[in-house]
Amino acid sequence: MIDVSYLLGEDRRILVTGGAGFIGGAVIRRLLKDTDSIVFNLDKISYASDLYGIKSVVKDLGESGTKRYHFLQVDLADSEATINALNQADPDLILHLAAESHVDRSIDAPEAFLNSNIIGTFNLLQAARLHWGSLSMKRQEAFRFHHISTDEVFGSLGDQGRFCEKTAYDPRSPYSATKASSDHLVSAWHHTYGLPVVITNCSNNFGPWQFPEKLIPVVILKAISCQPIPLYGDGLNIRDWLYVEDHVDALLLAATKGNPGEKYCIGGNNERTNRQVVEVICSLLDDIKPLPKPYSNLIKLVPDRPGHDQRYAINADLISNQLAWTPSYNFESAIKLTLIWYLENLDWCKKVQYRSGYKGQRLGHS
């Protein structure tokens, strides 16, 4: 992990949207632990949200934690509430992560994705423009709006090539189409209104506190309860995996050192088929929690995700060369850390599953 303390000036006010989610939570915990910034967490609190990890960091920090962390329960689809939240936070930096994020849910119920990812981003941009225009010249110059996006906006790769900043957009799921729309809105607000924005497009993240509907936590929870481990299609789709703390490093570098108007692609250079990912987890479990038979016997091929993108891979040369970002974790050690975290936090998994009403059932395929 990089030392982020030098990246942010003292008392810098930072608004993180989607901070009750997986990646936003990791960003906020890092800001609270490793900087002196004042952090505002704007989140509507959805099925995927949980504040437990942040609350324990705030508690450990004592008085400084309670002074420096503020939660704003706001739905970005509500334009007036969004403007009020920005007035209250008065930010120098906005890290915009709030979004509906699960492809399978976007197949079942796309409307929520349009409301949060497109309308929500539009409302935030409008509020940010108002706020930015009201700042002193010095604060205006330092202000950044950092939009956190995904590699899925670029579509699906064949066997060769990797996505980079110049790749044409070709989103293919309701989720990625709404993220692509939000990227275009952010870019338009830069070109038309001069808002100082940075956009990052990252590959698949994994790590602690990820809501158990995404591949890695699903596999862990199914395996340890000896249920079939669902592998979509032939299991040969490829993702480029990045440990969440490496993504946080990249985000804080891009937000503070990135050029206004610039886009950065972020990825782990860790391409794996889904079958390889599942098999790594199974073999780690064979060592840590052995059963009479190997866990891989639980793997079950299930009908494919409609419109399933075949392969994602990122060329992260720009952020590496320009901002000196490089991932610190390798896939094998980070997946082990993640597995151990889930094994030690099964109560948290049960709690968030119970509260959300999601019991591990197949999504995105009726």
Q: Which is nearer to ligand DAU, 38 or 221 (CB)?
A: 221
Q: Which is nearer to ligand NAD, 252 or 298 (CB)?
A: 252
For residue 151, indicate whether it is catalytic.
Answer: yes
Catalytic residue, candidates 50, 151, 240, 309? 151
Nearest CA-CA partner of 200 in 159, 150, 273: 150
> Is residue 116 a contact residue for ligand NAD (CB under 6 A)?
yes
List, in sequence order, every residue forming a beta bridge with 264; answer none if it has no partner.
200
Q: Which of 215, 266, 285, 334 binds ligand DAU (CB under 6 A)?
A: 215
Three-state DSSP at 213 gives coil
Per-residue mark of binding to ligand NAD, 4-23 (x: CB under 6 A): -------------xx-xxxx
Size (the chain), residues: 366
Site for ligand NAD in 83-102 (CB under 6 A): 97-101
Q: Residue 186 is inside which H or E element, if any?
A: helix 174-193
Per-residue mark of binding to ligand DAU, 293-312 (x: CB under 6 A): ------------x------x
> Is residue 309 a contact residue for ligand NAD (CB under 6 A)?
no
Q: Give the type of residue at 347.
A: D
The token pair at 334 is 């980070």
List, in sequence order, every residue forming a beta bridge with 38; answer none if it has no partner.
13
Per-residue mark of binding to ligand DAU, 237-256 (x: CB under 6 A): x-x-----------------
> Is residue 210 a contact residue for ligand DAU (CB under 6 A)?
no
For residue 152, indicate whether it is catalytic.
Answer: yes
Write the Ramachandran bin of 307: left for phi over 0, alpha for psi from -120 to 50, otherwise beta. Answer: left
> Is residue 269 a contact residue for ligand DAU (CB under 6 A)?
no
Separation between Cα atoms, residue 132 and residue 126, nearest integer Å: 10
Q: Which of 54, 83, 157, 218 binds ligand DAU (CB under 6 A)?
A: 218
For residue 243, indicate whether it is catalytic.
Answer: no
Catalytic residue, candidates 152, 245, 271, 309? 152
> Is residue 239 a contact residue for ligand NAD (CB under 6 A)?
no
Separation between Cα atoms, residue 276 and residue 235, nearest integer Å: 8
Instruction: Give whole-number Cα distances, 262 to 196, 249, 251, 290, in Å.
Output: 9, 17, 13, 48
Q: How far is the CB of 148 from ligand DAU (least distance, A)?
A: 10
Q: What is the DSSP string of 222-279?
A: HHHTT--EEEETTS--EEE-EEHHHHHHHHHHHHHHSPTT-EEEE--S-EEEHHHHHH
Site for ligand DAU in 15-74 (CB under 6 A): none
Helix axes 120-133, 174-193, angle to 10 degrees: 20
Site of interaction with ligand DAU (CB under 6 A)? 101-103, 150-152, 203-204, 214-215, 218, 230-232, 237, 239, 274, 305, 312
- Catalytic center residues: 151-152, 175
Binding region for ligand NAD (CB under 6 A): 17-18, 20-24, 43-46, 48-49, 75-77, 97-101, 116, 120, 148, 150, 179, 202, 204-205, 211
